[in-house]
Structure 1
């Protein structure tokens, strides 16, 4: 994975910043102009900083907007769960490698309008963990055996700017750093004979908009409308444009302002991106 990421970074910068590659980096042995070295190093830092936004955008697009077989690959509307149903095997297409003791639950969240309430059942002695990450890929909350226990519960996932009241039977989690977020749930599978039981458990993982809480018959709208990443095969600035668009939806924290201004000045002068 690291090698792949570094390869993407190198390819992007080779296309976007050809005039800023340090002479020393070209194998001449010369020191080169410090301004070229500075520009290249800053471009690398900017791309590495923004890469999670590009990666998350691509994965979200593939799992929400792309038409795939949900029996084999993750696919669900925004604010809805997808659950794997089968043990991993040679035919598995999702993830890095087959996993025979875990079934996965995935959801892409839009918290911009209101909080979502995550409901989980009493799982008994079954191990499970639901990891929740902001759009910069940082995990900000967990629900599961080690953090909240195994009893049934309801947990509010809120945007960074949300400030309101929750029902008495709902516990607020640490706020997401971004309005868009991602859930990756893992539930212990004890073998093929355990599949019916684990499916029953996972079917009880629910996401409910706060405005529909307490309305069990309400229909939750299905939306597959998410930002489409720019195509790096046809546009050498694609990743930078995807960063810009995604960061407009999911503002980086204010404490990064100085760093981002530094990136923006450099990238605007050299590529027109991150301006």
Structure 2
């Protein structure tokens, strides 16, 4: 049996171009989500205090979050596939340096969930209404942190990596009354370093945080969080800080040997740069299509079954990192998405569509659900109504006499569509996306079928 030292080519072995390309392409797909995490952490923690990047995106120093006091604005291009069902918070931690404390107030009957992901984008905390989480203080610790947690910490969760991302979410209805209730709770939803913990509930004035300048970004699509020209320069940090999964040790040796060869021979290094650009174009860009983001779920919808717990499913991990990074675990939220109608034709705002939920066939949830419309880049289509999703949060939806619910999508509202049931679409390609928070078993085991999307006429 080969030792771990010979699990891959010996360091600095000369490699033919075809081998470099084969291993390099796989390394690019494998490492893409983790390099994206590194670059997001760098961009979104380089501030002295919690605030808003460009006035829209919540950012904070390491070990903290910033909470929004309204839905995330339509014009932001930092994070794709955001929703307008919840108020977001976001931040990153370096959990081996110091644990982070999630402060959880008493939400009563309100739906909420506080997600935390490791460097691989796997979820490792279990905090939310569906878990019966009690109010209190919950510590998130790194894999190599060995200190003692003080009295008063309610519970703890250990990440597999030092780098972690945090995202509390709090449901809000589209009514002034509910908004006022949430504003009373929101100051107590926070995350801070363990050395600031004193056992008392802290509060933050999230309505008056500073604004920080926005860096240059993409004009239409998401900010490019992975630069192919720099990918293989950043991959060593991933290999050094993200422990291999069982069975991945040999893979790490292959990648390290590839990088050692690139350090020795300039032509190998140049080939890797070329491979990165090719892989971005040929392998990563197509993953924006929802058909590559999980198994078929019925009626031309697709849905991942292992989101935030990917294991060695490198395809789905990278696809979701490209199209829809930072998903909740399936028992927290079930995601279903599609680019096409029931006939398999691309959704196009020049046409009008009906999305009909038969009576008794709304998404089976204990929390809430929504249907969100995104443009071809997975961002909101800015419209005069400021309407980007419909669902539980909308008390004015019009139901059929038989209890069915028909929602409409298109650039122009059909004559038969109630104004409250229409989602404005761009005059070109778009996609639809169902979120089912706290899903019931029928949606988890796929016995519930998502609605047909039919083109009018």
TM (norm. structure 2) is 0.44
Q: Deviations over 1:242-274 (max 9, x none)?
A: 2223544x232374332201221133224468x
Structure 1 residue 173: deviation in Å?
3.1
Structure whose residues are more often helix by fraction: 1
Partner of 1:57: 38
Distance in 1, matches of 2:200 and 2:156, equals: 22
Q: How does 1:6-25 map to 2 (within 5 A)?
A: 20=17
Residue equivalent to 1:15 = none
Describe the superposition over 1:128-155 as per-residue Cα deviations: whole angstroms up to 9, x where unpaired.
Answer: 1111011121111131111243x31211
Indicate the structure whose relative CO is greater, using CA pairs within 8 Å and at least 6 residues apart.
1
Which residue among 245, 248, 252 is the counterpart of 2:243?
252
Q: Distance in 1 between matches of 2:74 and 2:190?
A: 30
C-alpha displacement of 1:124? 0.5
Instruction: Tell me by how many angstroms 1:93 deviates.
Output: 4.6
Report the counterpart of residue 80 of structure 1 in structure 2.
64
In the superposition, relative to structure 1, how do residues 260 and 203 fare at CA in structure 2: closer, same or farther (>3 Å)?
same
Larger Rg: 1 or 2? 2
Unaligned ranges ≥5, structure 2: 1-15, 203-224, 263-267, 273-457
Q: 1:162 maps to which residue?
A: 145
Q: Matched residue of 1:146: which SS?
A: helix
Name the TM-score, length of structure 1 as normaliser. 0.69
- Pairs within 5 Å for 1:154-193: 154-193=137-176
Q: Residue 177 of structure 1 contacts residue 253 of structure 1 at CA under 8 Å; is this kept in 2? A: no
The verdict on how the C-alpha distance between 1:252 and 1:93 changes in structure 2, with shifts beyond 3 A counting, is same
Q: Hey, what's the Cα distance between the residues in 2 that align with 1:198 and 1:143?
A: 18
CA RMSD of aligned residues (A): 3.2
Asked if the contact 1:88/1:98 (under 8 Å) is kept, the reply is yes
Deviation track 1:137-180 (CA, whole Å, cap 9, x = no partner) reads 1111131111243x312111111122343234324433111111
Structure 1 spans left out of the alignment, 5+ residues: 1-18, 21-35, 219-230
Q: Report if aligned partners of 2:102, 2:138 keep a CA contact under 8 Å in 1.
A: yes
Match of 1:29 in 2: none
Q: SS where residue 109 of structure 2 aligns?
A: coil
CA contact (8 A) 2:63 2:99 kept: no
Q: How many residues in Structure 1 have an aligned counterpart in Structure 2? A: 225
- Rounded to whole Å, the distance in 2 between the matches of 1:159 and 1:232 is 25
The SS at the match of 1:136 is coil
Kindly indicate which of the two structures has a greater share of residues assigned to strand: 2
**Which one of the candidate residues 14, 29, 52 is aligned to 1:48?**
29
SS at match of 1:104: strand
Secondary structure of the residue aligned to 2:158 is: coil
Is the Cα–Cα contact under 8 Å of residues 34 and 119 in structure 2 kept in the other structure?
Answer: yes
The CA distance in 2 between the partners of 1:68 and 1:174, in whole Å, is 28
Aligned twin of 2:356: none
Out of 104, 124, 128, the residue aligned to residue 108 of structure 2 is: 124
| Among candidates 124, 130, 136, match of residue 140 of structure 1 | 124
Q: For each residue in 1:200-225, what CA deviation from the matched residue of structure 2 results, as whole angstroms up to 9, or x when unmatched?
A: 3232123243333217699xxxxxxx
Tell me, yes or no, if structure 1 residue 107 matches structure 2 residue 101: no
Q: 1:215 and 1:142 mapped to 2: Cα distance?
A: 21
